[in-house]
Amino acid sequence: MLSVNPGRAVRVGLVGLGNVGSGALSILSGNAGQIEAKLGFPLRVHSVCSRSVAGKELPAGVDAVRRTADWRDVVNDPEVDIVCELIGGTGVAREVIDAAIGAGKSVVTANKELMALHGADIWEKAIAAGINLAMEASVAGGIPIHTVLREGISGDRIQALFGILNGTSNYILTAIERHGSAFETVLAEAQRLGYAEADPSADIDGLDARSKLALLSALAFGERIAPSDIYTEGIRRLTPLDFQYAHQLGYTIRLLCAARQTPEGLLLSVRPALIPRDTILAGVQGAYNAIWVRGEYGADTFYYGRGAGPHPTGVAVVSDLMRVAREIRNGSPERVSPFAHARLGAYRPIPITLQRRAWYLRFRVHDRPGIIAALAGILAGKKVSLDAVLQLPSDTKEDLPFVITLETTCEADLRDAVEQMAALDFLKEPPLALPMETSL
Ligand SMILES: NC(=O)c1ccc[n+]([C@@H]2O[C@H](COP(=O)([O-])OP(=O)(O)OC[C@H]3O[C@@H](n4cnc5c(N)ncnc54)[C@H](OP(=O)(O)O)[C@@H]3O)[C@@H](O)[C@H]2O)c1
């Protein structure tokens, strides 16, 4: 059972001093007075750990803390009450958290990847050990969406949740939209500015957003959701031309994370989608994140802020540390896992191919007579209704772009039609199919 000397501060061991760790440390140091005033007792950094800790410059006020390059020193230190895991990944981070729980210490983590994959097991262990666990920073950095879903609107029954959860891809898409530059050019600029990693795959292929949507869906629906339950598609194929066509239609394009309850089950996806330009989500620009939650009783609520960065994410970590410190002081570990339920049936994920949406199909063709007739024939064969054909002026007949929009169609039929179209010899590349979110 937890026991903390009531006369002293609650003490933190920080493991990981990168972007988030250094941000959290600077807030713990710079805002120590207000943190103590709000808590009624001090929250102290007792030790810090990173592989290169010897060379790290620490903020004034925490330079006297114990430094170590071995995380076991933090976890096994009887003076440490809370272990804050800010390493990332699913290897050493898991060992740190398991060992901390084993040693009866509370844990704060920002690790979306680990919690999306193994959160249910980790929570079970934490509950059995009677320690506190908090993970606010694991989704949408500075937006306190965990607290919103677990506390603020937990009385509602969530019907749908939409999010822009990856700042890097949103920065890239909004830069393509604003400047008309090619995807590769904008990605290179994002890498130069430090918005995108040298290996950008986790961001631009939707994998980072998928981990976050898995966590948010678990919180929103009380369901066990694995990342593999979520249909995922990245943004590599988008061009400035897609934004021009989308604008003509009154839409823009974002990497949209969506979780919707239907009578059959949950539809989960991370994919580029057309969203109406006059919705609040379309206004989310640059590296910002946003989450839009639709409840049965409370209707729509919207949350917006910085999804990453040392200080926004650091605030989420420090606020978690404060909550856990209060719980330690009051002897009340949080005993309900956000992943508590077995599959509930109504919230069971179902294949995305069952969904019905309107569609945007963009083609690039060698121009010749009969193209529209050939495409319309395939659509008619699948009983899919064509809504409109759009063609912006083009200089060349060798690489002619145009767009067809489709009325509401089941994704399974749409995919069959696109597969048949991809074999047509006048296409320069397979058609790009994006859902149109007409109901946002
Ligand atoms: N970056 C963000 O804005 C953001 C936002 C939300 C959530 N997160 C999550 O926060 C976590 C940390 O991300 P980050 O961006 O801060 O990562 P980062 O900049 O790469 O920092 C990782 C830190 O962990 C340390 N570390 C790695 N392996 C270690 C080991 N075996 N033993 C001790 N220390 C080790 C590194 O030490 P050395 O530097 O000494 O090698 C470094 O200080 C991740 O789970 C990430 O998903 C990040």
Atom of ligand 1 nearest to the CA of 87: 24
Chain centroid offset of residue 51 CA: 27
CA angle (366, 435, 245) in 5-degree steps: 50
Give alpha helix (H) positions in 222-355.
240-248, 310-330
CA distances, 57 to each of 26, 33, 43, 60, 318 (Å): 11, 22, 21, 9, 20
Which residue's CA is the nearest one to ligand 1's atom 2?
308
Between CA 209 and CA 188 the distance in angstroms is: 20
Report DSSP state, residue 349. B
Q: Which of the following is catalytic: 105, 125, 212, 383?
A: 212
Q: Which domains does the chain have, with CATH numbers?
A: 10-142+310-330 (3.40.50.720), 145-306 (3.30.360.10), 355-436 (3.30.70.260)
Atom of ligand 1 nearest to the CA of 19: 16
Rounded to the nearest angstrom, the distance between the alpha carbon of 17 and the centre of ligand 1 is 6
Predicted confidence pLDDT, tens digits, the chain (440 residues): 444 455 579 999 999 999 999 999 999 999 999 999 999 999 999 999 999 999 899 988 777 799 999 999 999 999 999 999 999 999 999 999 999 999 999 999 999 999 999 999 999 999 999 999 999 999 998 999 999 999 999 999 999 999 999 999 999 999 999 999 999 999 999 999 888 889 999 999 999 999 999 999 999 998 889 999 999 999 999 999 999 999 999 999 999 999 999 999 999 999 999 999 999 999 999 999 999 999 999 999 999 999 999 999 999 999 999 999 999 998 887 678 887 666 566 788 999 999 999 999 999 999 999 999 999 999 999 999 999 999 998 888 889 999 999 999 999 999 999 999 999 999 999 999 999 999 88
pLDDT of 334: 66
Report DSSP state, residue 281. G
204 CB neighbour count, 10 Å cutoff: 23
Q: How far apart are the first and last CA of the chain?
A: 48
Rounded to the nearest angstrom, the distance between the alpha carbon of 265 and the centre of ligand 1 is 36
397 is catalytic: no
pLDDT of 116: 93
Rounded to the nearest angstrom, the distance between the alpha carbon of 272 and the centre of ligand 1 is 28
Q: Which residues line ligand 1 (CB under 6 A)?
A: 16-21, 49-52, 71, 86-88, 92, 110-112, 137, 141, 308-309, 313
Tokens found for residue 156 = 């509602």
Atom of ligand 1 nearest to the CA of 309: 3
pLDDT of 2: 44
Residues 6+ away with beta carbon under 8 Å from 109 = 84, 85, 86, 93, 97, 115, 133, 134, 135, 137, 138
Between CA 254 and CA 39 the distance in angstroms is: 40
pLDDT of 1: 40
Rounded to the nearest angstrom, the distance between the alpha carbon of 93 and the centre of ligand 1 is 9
Which residue's CA is the nearest one to ligand 1's atom 10?
110
Atom of ligand 1 nearest to the CA of 310: 3
Rounded to the nearest angstrom, the distance between the alpha carbon of 220 and the centre of ligand 1 is 27
DSSP sequence for 423-437: T-TTBSSPPEEEEE-
What is the four-CA torsion angle of 12, 13, 18, 24, rounded to 10 degrees? Answer: 0
